[in-house]
């Protein structure tokens, strides 16, 4: 399978008079292969947006090697820009324009055949609402319009920064369905998020970033399996006595409210045998599988670092700190 995005050893430091020197990305690696829906997970301020901006040439990295669709980025990104759709920054849609007119304008500006507008609206499920003004759109619809704008040129790679941010459950579901159908049509998707459940539902691969560093990467099921403590929830009539019996059999067990949790067990029949032999019949024996949330919290130290201030979205770059932006049609959503 070929690499669609490769990042090795990316480092980016911001300097400001107020906060001094801040290492936003600290030797970060990322590999996204063709056909993946790849989740890019990390707490607020962990470096996701900075990584994506560096990849797309919107901010200049201190060091590191990056490539997109096989071309070194950002140097030769223009060669593949026509096959990359990205929504990383806040876009400005004219509220008085209809969705259709907005896309037609963007298509013309980007040299894309206007016939592509209908297809893009269809793909994001806005074909029926394309004649309505954008100011009447819900946030979810605006998000989908932003995705449609990134789809105008029929990209092979779609990069979405926090597409579910601010959406209600219905909007999140729509976004999820949209990503799935795009992936089914052969588009590789990289989606950054701090919404763990969403990533677990949508993505097949994940890279977790914490304080600018990669702390886990791989297939979602493999990352989860790597953190499986082989725990079981056990319900019996006498939990305290059950714990004593399990300890005597050299198993680790603790009472957890009206049940007990046994860990480090690969074969659950051992538990029922130890207890059954002493007349304690097991009423429930449930494997406690890790979910992405518990893995994420474990790896990132419970999320947000209070010493790291939240990014101000439109923080003014320092003179000379930014690279020359590349015309990638990078858009975000006007909330």
**Could you give phi then psi for residue 16, rounded to 5 degrees?**
-145, 155
**Part in contact with ligand ATP (CB under 6 A); list of ranges 114-122, 180-188, 266-274, 303-311:** 303-311
Using alpha carbons, list the distances in angstroms from residue 161 to 48, 72, 131, 328, 331: 8, 21, 27, 15, 10
Estimate the crossing angle of helix 116-123 against helix 99-109, to 10 degrees.
Answer: 130
Which residues, including other chains, have CB under 8 Å from residue 45's CB and lie 6 or more apart?
A: 304, 305, 308, 309, 310, 311
Instruction: Sketch the per residue contact string, 137 through 176, with ligand ATP: x for CB under 6 A, - otherwise.
Output: ----------------------------------------
Instruction: Sketch the per residue contact string, 6 through 25, with ligand ATP: x for CB under 6 A, - otherwise.
Output: --------x-x-----x-x-
Q: What residues pair up with 223 in beta bridges, in sequence order?
A: none
Q: Which is nearer to ligand ATP, 20 or 186 (CB)?
A: 20
Instruction: Sketch the per residue contact string, 30 through 69, with ligand ATP: x for CB under 6 A, - otherwise.
Output: ------------x-xxxxxxx-------------------
Task: For tokens 């009423």, name the residue.
Answer: 283
Least Å distance, CB 34 to ligand ATP, is 25
Structure tokens at 299: 């790896």
Q: Which of 17, 302, 315, 335 binds ligand ATP (CB under 6 A)?
A: 315
**Part in contact with ligand ATP (CB under 6 A); list of ranges 107-115, 255-263, 276-284, 306-314:** 306-314
Of the candidates 97, 171, 117, 104, the one whose C-alpha atom is nearest the C-alpha of residue 141 is 171
Considering only residues 181-220, where is the footprint of ligand ATP by CB under 6 A?
194
Least Å distance, CB 56 to ligand ATP, is 13
**Part in contact with ligand ATP (CB under 6 A); list of ranges 131-139, 178-186, 253-261, 310-318:** 310-318
Structure tokens at 304: 């947000």
Considering only residues 112-131, where is the footprint of ligand ATP by CB under 6 A?
none
Least Å distance, CB 18 to ligand ATP, is 9
Supply the Cα-derived Rg of the chain in whole angstroms: 24
Least Å distance, CB 52 to ligand ATP, is 8
**Part in contact with ligand ATP (CB under 6 A); list of ranges 177-185, 269-277, 286-294, 309-317:** 309-317
Least Å distance, CB 154 to ligand ATP, is 27
**Could you give phi then psi for residue 227, rounded to 5 degrees?**
-115, 15
**Part in contact with ligand ATP (CB under 6 A); list of ranges 222-230, 242-250, 293-301, 311-319:** 311-319
Q: What is the Cα–Cα distance from 52 to 7, expressed in whole angstroms?
A: 10
Q: Which is nearer to ligand ATP, 50 or 102 (CB)?
A: 50
Q: DSSP assignment of 286-328, as one string?
A: EEE---HHHHHHHHHTSS--TTSPPPPTTPPPPTTTSPPP--S
Q: Is the peptide bond before 74 cis (omega within 30 degrees of 0)?
A: yes
**Spatial contact of 92 and 335, defined as CB atoms under 8 Å apart:** no
Binding site for ligand ATP (CB under 6 A): 14, 16, 22, 24, 42, 44-50, 194, 308-311, 315, 317
């Amino acid at each position: 399978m070929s690499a669609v995005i490769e990042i090795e050893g990316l480092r980016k430091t911001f300097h400001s008079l107020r906060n001094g020197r801040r290492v936003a990305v600290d030797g970060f690696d990322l590999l996204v292969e063709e056909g993946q829906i790849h989740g890019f997970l990390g707490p607020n301020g962990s470096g996701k947006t900075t990584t994506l901006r560096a990849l797309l040439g919107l901010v200049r990295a201190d060091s590191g090697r990056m490539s997109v669709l096989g071309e070194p980025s950002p140097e030769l990104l223009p060669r593949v820009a026509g096959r990359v759709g990205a929504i990383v920054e806040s876009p400005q849609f004219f509220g008085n324009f209809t969705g259709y007119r907005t896309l037609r304008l963007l298509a013309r500006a980007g040299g894309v055949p206007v016939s592509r507008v209908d297809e893009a609206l269809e793909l994001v499920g806005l074909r029926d609402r394309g004649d309505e003004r954008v100011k009447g759109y819900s946030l979810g619809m605006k998000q989908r319009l932003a995705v449609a704008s990134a789809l105008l040129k029929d990209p092979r790679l779609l990069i979405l920064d926090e597409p579910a941010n601010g959406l209600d459950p219905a909007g999140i579901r729509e976004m999820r369905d949209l990503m799935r159908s795009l992936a089914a049509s052969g588009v590789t998707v990289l989606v950054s998020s701090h919404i763990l459940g969403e990533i677990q539902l949508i993505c097949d691969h994940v890279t977790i970033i914490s304080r600018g560093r990669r702390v886990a990467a791989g297939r979602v099921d493999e990352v989860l399996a790597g953190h499986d403590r082989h725990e079981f929830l056990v319900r019996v009539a006498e939990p305290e006595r059950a714990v004593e019996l399990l300890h005597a059999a050299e198993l680790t067990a603790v009472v957890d409210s009206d049940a007990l949790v046994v860990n480090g067990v690969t074969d659950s029949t051992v538990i029922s045998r130890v207890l059954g032999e002493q007349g304690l019949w097991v009423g429930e024996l449930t494997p406690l599988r890790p979910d992405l949330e518990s893995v994420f919290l474990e790896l990132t130290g419970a999320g947000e670092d209070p010493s790291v201030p939240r990014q101000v979205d439109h923080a003014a770059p320092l003179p000379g700190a930014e690279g020359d932006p590349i015309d990638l049609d990078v858009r975000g959503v006007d909330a």
